Amino acid sequence: MNRGEDGHSGSRGRSPASGHGGYRWKSETPVGVDRSLNESFGNRSSGSRGRVSGRASWSRHNSSGYANYEHRPVQAYVEKPLQVSNVGFVEKRAQNDGLGSTKQPVEVAASKFCGDDKDLVKLSASSSSKKYMNLSGGSVVSRECEDKDGARMRCDLVNRVKDVSLSCKDSVFSTSGQKVDHSSVVVDHGSAHKSGDGGNSSIESSTGLFDIFLEKTVMGVKPSLLEINREKRKASKGYTGIVIRPGMVLLKNYLSINDQVMIVNKCRQLGLGEGGFYQPGYRDGAILHLKMMCLGKNWDPETSQYGETRPVDGSIPPKIPVEFSQFVEKAVKESQSLVATTSKNMKAEDEIPSMSPDICIANFYTTTGRLGLHQDKDESRNSIQKGLPVVSFSIGDSAEFLYSDQWEDEKAEKVLLESGDVLIFGGKSRNVFHGVRSIVKDTAPKVLVQETSLRQGRLNLTFRQY
């Protein structure tokens, strides 16, 4: 995978290029080095690369199970028949995953306007405020999902969220083996904001790993009932599927708040253990504008290769939690059935092939984080050739996500990825250039922030099959 944070050779590198807001994408290398202008290009020698110091000798820990975490079904909605604006009425198969969905038909209401701005699409179920996306030839499918018993579900949501927080709270240990007590930790987005990107928790300072939680120091402002109710309404509406382009599907509002809380808590727990969140950097000394943790296999930005250990500290990446993989496989199935309703000439499986993730790259972007245009192409040749999709979860603050067939941000299309969105790109879009232009501050759901101690910023998980 070439991860272009400030565009390291089109891979997940970073590449300075002419660009928006201090972003430069093009570099001297053909495939994407994206270094920010204020970063040092030199310093190839060992030394300060802004990453965790030292090679800790990690003791193996059992990261595979969810012994301390009880995951419960979350989809308490009834699916209805599916309708797509320019495709007509289609019966939609119910989700089948044992994660709690019902097997009733689903109705999907679609809304697409073509005004002056061609292909302006309203995401009708995405939020209470109007959100528009500029899509070329995309189609939108909005699934209205109702809970069987609205009141009960809302109650359940709050209870489940609490359960998740509690069970995760109990299972969090610092790497020194000390149990971390979060009973006194109250979310304070206000103070998180004040401390900005520089804030860190006491655990972070003692381990050298990046903590995606911030410990509260001052009593924060609690979200208003109005805000909480708005978010609950949004959560109970279900998700909206959008075919952005062949092979690329966006499932808006796909992960429920309690799924997000579970994922955040699990990532925080893993992030403070062996192979946890650290500051990645390139061989030339440039750093990525994000913190990273790999699950399953390690992706090394210095070599653009996957391996079983992380060269910078010898750590072994934690396994991908089984619940995460279930979400991914289910999301891919959903995207396939959406594609089946919209593309007449292609089999959905050809457009977005199925996959079983064995790699997850978790990125945490602080509010100044970004990632330059790049292609994900360090997976096996077979995986890339088959177009096995990359599945991306967004949690926390929203991100301006760019995608393009070319390695030029001026030509890139933009879509806002909000908390709970799942983006899938495989098949013809497997090699799409993509990146994160910016993080939109203070846009994380208040309930999520209240129920976890997530910092300001964005957690992104991209799943792949090697």
Ligand X SMILES: O=C(O)CCC(=O)C(=O)O
The β-bridge partners of 404 are 433
Kindly state the smallest distance separating residue 10's Cβ from Fe ion, in Å. 10
- Residue 123 binds: one of ligand X, Fe ion, none (C-beta under 5 to 8 A by kind): none
Kindly state the smallest distance separating residue 363's Cβ from Fe ion, in Å. 9
Would you count residue 39 as binding Fe ion (CB under 5 A)? Answer: no
Kindly state the smallest distance separating residue 301's Cβ from ligand X, in Å. 11
Q: Where are the beta strands (DSSP E) in 91-135?
A: 108-109, 120-122, 132-134
- Residue 153 binds: one of ligand X, Fe ion, none (C-beta under 5 to 8 A by kind): none
State phi, psi for 444 to the nearest 5 degrees.
Answer: -65, 145
Applying CB under 6 A, which of residues 83, 265, 462, 465 lies at the interface with ligand X?
462
- Residue 121 binds: one of ligand X, Fe ion, none (C-beta under 5 to 8 A by kind): none
Nearer to ligand X, 188 or 379 (CB): 379
Contact partners, residue 439, CB within 8 Å, separation at least 6:
365, 366, 367, 368, 369, 370, 397, 398, 399, 400, 457, 458
Nearer to ligand X, 74 or 402 (CB): 402
Residues annotated within the binding site are 374, 376, 434
Nearer to ligand X, 182 or 437 (CB): 437
* Cα-trace Rg, the chain: 21
- Residue 180 binds: one of ligand X, Fe ion, none (C-beta under 5 to 8 A by kind): none
Would you count residue 363 as binding ligand X (CB under 6 A)? Answer: yes
Nearer to Fe ion, 26 or 230 (CB): 26
DSSP H or E run through 205: helix 202-207
Q: How far is CA 48 from the centre of its chain?
A: 29
Count of C-beta atoms within a 10 Å radius of residue 48: 12
Task: Report angle CA 447, 453, 456 to the nearest 5 degrees.
Answer: 85
- Is the C-alpha dihedral spanning 147, 152, 158, 159 positive or negative? negative
Residues annotated within the binding site for Fe cation are 374, 376, 434
Q: Where are the beta strands (DSSP E) in 37-138?
A: 77-78, 82-84, 88-90, 108-109, 120-122, 132-134
Q: How far is CA 58 from the centre of its chain?
A: 27
Nearer to Fe ion, 327 or 403 (CB): 403
Nearer to ligand X, 3 or 92 (CB): 3
Applying CB under 6 A, which of residues 6, 39, 204, 376 lies at the interface with ligand X?
376
Would you count residue 11 as binding ligand X (CB under 6 A)? Answer: no
- Residue 254 binds: one of Fe ion, ligand X, none (C-beta under 5 to 8 A by kind): none
Would you count residue 310 as binding ligand X (CB under 6 A)? Answer: no
Q: Which two tokens stand for residue 377?
A: 């192409």
Segment contacting Fe ion (CB under 5 A): 139-147, 216-224, 234-242, 372-380? 372-380
- Residue 235 binds: one of Fe ion, ligand X, none (C-beta under 5 to 8 A by kind): none
Q: What is the rounded distance in angstroms from the CA atom of residue 90 to the CA atom of residue 67?
A: 41
Task: Report angle CA 304, 4, 17 to the nearest 5 degrees.
Answer: 135
Helices 257-271 and 150-171: angle between axes, nearest 10 degrees: 0
Contact partners, residue 187, CB within 8 Å, separation at least 6:
216, 220, 449, 450, 451, 452, 453, 454
Would you count residue 460 as binding ligand X (CB under 6 A)? Answer: yes
Kindly state the smallest distance separating residue 115's Cβ from ligand X, in Å. 29
Would you count residue 243 as binding ligand X (CB under 6 A)? Answer: no
Kindly state the smallest distance separating residue 392's Cβ from ligand X, in Å. 5
Would you count residue 335 as binding ligand X (CB under 6 A)? Answer: no
Q: Which two tokens stand for residue 223?
A: 């979200």
Interaction pattern, residues 402-441, with ligand X; x per rule: CB under 6 A: ---------------x----------------x-x-----
> What sections of 354-401 are H helices per DSSP?
381-386
Q: What is the rounded distance in angstroms from the CA atom of residue 321 to the CA atom of residue 360?
A: 10
Segment contacting Fe ion (CB under 5 A): 181-189, 235-243, 338-346, 374-382? 374-382
Would you count residue 5 as binding Fe ion (CB under 5 A)? Answer: no
How many positions of this chain bind ligand X (CB under 6 A)?
15
Kindly state the smallest distance separating residue 346's Cβ from ligand X, in Å. 25
Applying CB under 5 A, which of residues 144, 259, 351, 376 lies at the interface with Fe ion?
376
Q: What is the rounded distance in angstroms from the CA atom of residue 180 to the CA atom of residue 165?
A: 13
Interaction pattern, residues 32-61, with ligand X; x per rule: CB under 6 A: ------------------------------
CA distances from 264 to 56, 63, 260, 434 (A): 25, 15, 6, 24
Kindly state the smallest distance separating residue 361's Cβ from Fe ion, in Å. 8
The helix/strand/coil state of 292 is strand
DSSP state of 409: G
Would you count residue 378 as binding Fe ion (CB under 5 A)? Answer: no
**Which residues contact ligand X (rule: CB under 6 A)?**
1, 3, 12, 361, 363, 371, 376, 392, 399, 401, 417, 434, 436, 460, 462
